[in-house]
Structure 1
Amino acid sequence: MTDGNLTSAEENVIERIEAADVDFLRLQFTDILGTVKNVSVPARQAEKAFTEGIYFDGSSIEGFVRIQESDMRLVPDPETFAILPWRRTEDSAAARMICDVYDTSTGDPFEGDPRYVLKQALERADDLGYTVSAAPEPEFFMFEEDEDGRATTETADHGGYFDLAPKDLASDVRRDIIYGLEDMDFEIEASHHEVARGQYEINFEYDDALTTADNVGTFRTVVRAIAAEHDLHATFMPKPIPKINGSGMHTHLSLMTEDGENAFHDEGDEFNLSETAHSFLAGILEHAPAITAVANPTVNSYKRLVPGYEAPVYVAWSDRNRSALIRKPAARVPAASRIELRSPDPSCNPYLAIAVMIHAGLDGIEKDLEAPDPVRENIYEFDEQKREEYGIETLPSNLGAAVDALEEDEAIYEALGDHVAPKFVEAKRQEFEEYLVDVSQWELDRYLETF
């Protein structure tokens, strides 16, 4: 029984907890680097979590607060309640809820919470009369484990793009992953083997941007957990194997008006894109270098973003080919008109990445930016002179250059907020500096006995 202070959604969660014999709740949130954290509490604490929140030490979380201001409060979002399929038994279950983080000293939402950063972007869109829909396409690899249970880079199969069993030996694992996702209320659109051996993609349906960002974190958790049940290690590392395609997270975006119409669609336009869509697209192109620091946030991300491996490194858009940074996918119905940003990878913090995409696009709308002409040729085949002729720039070639671009781009830096922006830059600068002073196995193999 509850004390009557709960909302109907919260009361529904209490009922589902009792009906499913849930004994533990995982209250989840992410740090600024996108790592999912959780505080586990007995399910009987659910009502307290809704009405009072659950306190935790924020000083131990990457990029949150200093030790002298460490008390933070988690408030679960009842709409994110889901039972964890791999933790269910005949007489008990575990469930999770995604939380918003609050500052206990002020009682306000914590500015360093990535979910809050995305909500701020959505508020900006709402002020302009739009809601934002998004759909990511996260790719991942599955590798075998060694006798000690540690990850190797030996792939679970040797299939290729859209291959079937027996080459795609991990199809049973993908099936179990899909069942697990569906148990957590995902609506799966498609699943297939990707281009590289041991690489896969599972697509879930378009949704509002906040739900989509929540779903990316859940997706990564489910994939890893169910792969582990099959003695496999799933990784969202962008480029775990040299000289083959890496893993991306192409992200589809569109705006909807207050009356439910797709603000990106215009039947009279050559590309069926409205002026709003053209300006949104132009904004993303304008801010692409800074977006890259957030959407491709690891040193390894830039091993994927190189020409020749189907990765989009050229700042251009196209209505028909995949060599450009932004693609306008074919839409069967007006409601499906959207753009696809192809550069993000699945190591990113989905809240921050989607937030900066939205801010960049809205900046384009507010400034009435004009998109350049689409490039319909294969940019991968252009030489430098031809790219200059078309005015096509390239994305930053490493994490250091991307962070430089972020710091120089006032609109995107400010979009991350006064707390997240400097903390994110500090963490990424440190990562890049550690990389620069490291000596790789490649260098040892090439130079140790030569010089």
Structure 2
Amino acid sequence: MEREEILKFIESEKIKFIRLQITDINGLLKNVEIPWDELRNSFEKGTMFDGSSIEGFVRIEESDMYLKPDPSTFTIYPWTDKGYKSARLICDVYNSNGTPFEGDPRYRLKLALDNLKKNGFSAYVGPEPEFFLLPKDPQTNKPILEFLDNGGYFDLLPIDQGEETRKDIVLALEEMGINVEASHHEVAPSQHEIDFTYDEALKTTDNIQTFKLVVKTIALLKGLHATFMPKPFFGINGSGMHTHLSLFRDGENTFYDPKKPFEVSDTLKFFVGGVLKHIKAITAIANPTINSFKRLVPGYEAPVNIAWSQSNRSALIRVPASRGNGTRIEVRSPDPTANPYLLLATLFAAGLEGVKNNIEPPKAVSANIYHMTPEERDKVGIEQLPSNLKEAIDELKKDNLMKEVLGEHIFNKYIELKEREWKEYSINVTNWEINKYLWIM
């Protein structure tokens, strides 16, 4: 809908409140609520807010900033129909002088997509975010680190709280205009996945943020806690966000070439070459928390080896079997704590560099990399991802393309935040240390 259509719809539907949403540098949703009759002014002039109070935005002396709603993101919250309705709009962030804010993650993705467009491409994305549903203590209302079920991949469980919650999440997503393709139990107990339609990159990225909000809200209404923490439990699979990417030109998928081996185009191969060239630095964005690297370990289906393959799930990047307009690559390292705007900006920028410069990827690996010895991996030139957040940030610091894509503001702020996080972690005394050393040392 256009602006005037939205304003008329809001009045006719008696929608009382509008939530204006943005995403901070850490990928967390923030919002301000305005009465419905203030929306016209917000469309025309923007809604002022204090940018110094948002993580990674601006200093206090530069704090006056504006939210400008994107009409294409209008949707009604399906859980707010008890006497009143609320709707939401995702916003772009502007400086007080009317220019786009360089540190807005959504703006960084827009710039990356504009660069693709200048080179004749349009970008499409399909994410697979996973999450855990946990019980809550009825007295403290805090999550309990226990399983709701003992199910596994694709299990058809008895109808239980987790299964019912997942169904309600799907219904809410559909009501908000997000087309769900599949939902199922994942490999680990209490772990779930809901996949939505492969679509244009900016729209899909907005949908990832909406998805996270819906999952957490519906779980809360069901008396549960939903977490996208990559590895809440030791000894079982963690939660990833496998990310499917493709480039189109004039309505045709440029990753598909029926005349090439495996029907995979040179564009796809060069795109993979670019991503693999920068993947160590991208890891700081794709896996942005201390806990992210507890998932990226051998033995739990998470990729740790820098390689690509035709369909081989042990590789970091694989090419699923679908061909024609369904031809795509699947980047398997990201997890759902990643800021999706920054993640896709960096992935597409790295891929485009590969396409423009004909960067050949290493030879595709068909063997199960998980079963290869270190010597066998070295022989075919398979390196490994950074093993912790500090290593990933050190790689990010060295990557000039990532600095350009993220912009100086986000690049410097992000490194500052993550180095602080690493320092806090490094000096913290953990339960593991207490259990390991207290009684024997």
Task: Output the CA distance in 2 between the equivalents of 1:133 and 1:168.
Answer: 35
Correspondence 1:217 to 2:220: no
Distance 1:48 1:424 in 2: 33
* SS, match of residue 154 in structure 1: coil
Gaps of at least 5 residues in structure 2 are none
Matches within 5 A, 1:291-370: 291-331=282-322, 333-370=323-360
Report the residue type matching 2:381 in the other structure.
G
**Distance in 1 of aligned mates of 2:252 and 2:208:** 26
CA distance in 2, matches of 1:82, 1:291: 32
Task: After TM superposition, give the deviation of residue 271 of structure 1 in Å.
Answer: 2.2
Match in the other structure for 1:446: 436
Find 1:81's aligned residue among 74, 83, 92: 74
Kindly tell me: are residues 168 and 311 of structure 1, through their superposed partners in 2, closer, same or farther at Cα, counting changes over 3 Å? farther
Deviates more, 1:157-166 or 1:33-42: 157-166
Which of 37, 40, 53 is the equivalent residue of 1:44?
A: 37
Residues 1:270 and 2:261 are matched in the alignment? yes
How many Å separate the matches in 2 of 1:320 and 1:135?
Answer: 16
SS in 1 for 2:128: strand
Give the residue type in structure 1 aligned to 2:114: E
Quick one: which amino acid aligns to residue 42 of structure 2? A
What's the TM-score once normalised by structure 2's chain length? 0.98
Measure, in 2, the Cα distance between the counterparts of 1:348 and 1:45.
33
User: Does 2:153 align with 1:158?
Assistant: no
Of 371, 379, 386, the residue aligned with 1:396 is: 386
Candidates 135, 139, 146, aligned match of 2:126? 135
The whole-number CA distance in structure 1 between the counterparts of 2:159 and 2:273 is 42
One-letter amino acid of the counterpart of residue 297, structure 2: V
Deviations 1:362-383 (A, max 9, x none): 1111111112221111000111
Contact 1:158–1:167 (CA<8 Å) still a contact in 2? Answer: no
- 1:25 maps to 18
* C-alpha deviation, 1:168, in angstroms: 6.0
2:404 matched to 1:411? no
1:389-431 Cα distance to aligned partner (Å, 9 max, x none): 1100000000000000001111112210011100000000100
TM-score if structure 1 supplies the norm length? Answer: 0.96
State how far apart, in whole Å, the 1-side matches of 2:347 and 2:328 are.
Answer: 13
Q: Which whole-Å CA distance do the structure 2 matches of 1:271 and 1:238 have between them?
A: 33
User: Which residue of structure 1 lines up, in the alignment, with residue 234 of structure 2?
Assistant: 242
Quick one: distance in 2 between partners of 1:65 and 1:235? 29
- Report the CA distance between 1:82 and its aligned residue: 0.5
Q: Does 1:67 align with 2:57?
A: no
Which amino acid counterpart does residue 282 of structure 1 have in structure 2? G
Deviation at 1:216, TM superposition (A): 0.7
- The alpha-carbon deviation at position 15 of structure 1 amounts to 2.0
Shift of 1:324: 0.4
Gaps of 5+ in 1: 1-7
For residues 216 and 384 of structure 1, the distance between their equivalents in structure 2, rounded to whole angstroms, comes to 36
Contact between 1:254 and 1:337, CA under 8 Å: does it hold in 2? yes
Separation (CA, whole Å) in 1 of partners of 2:369 and 2:110: 36
Cα distance in 2 between the residues matched to 1:22 and 1:155:
38
- Cα distance per residue 1:259-287 (max 9 Å; x no partner): 21111110112122111111001100111
TM-fit CA distance, 1:169: 4.7
Whole-Å Cα distance in 1 between the matches of residues 364 and 6 of structure 2?
48
Deviation beyond 2 Å, 4+ runs, structure 1: none
The yes-or-no answer on 1:387 pairing with 2:377 is: yes
Aligned equivalent of 1:3: none
Percentage of identical aligned residues: 52
Asked whether the 8 Å contact 1:156–1:232 carries over to 2, the reply is no
Q: Secondary structure at the match of 1:329?
A: coil
Query: Per-residue CA shift, 1:155-197, capped at 9, x if unaligned?
Result: 2211111111228651111110000000100100000000000
Amino acid at match of 2:68: V
Question: Secondary structure, in 3 states, of the residue corresponding to 1:256?
Answer: strand
Q: Which residue of 1 aligns with 2:273?
A: 282
- Which residue is 1:116 aligned to? 107
Pairing partner for 1:174 from 163, 166, 169? 166
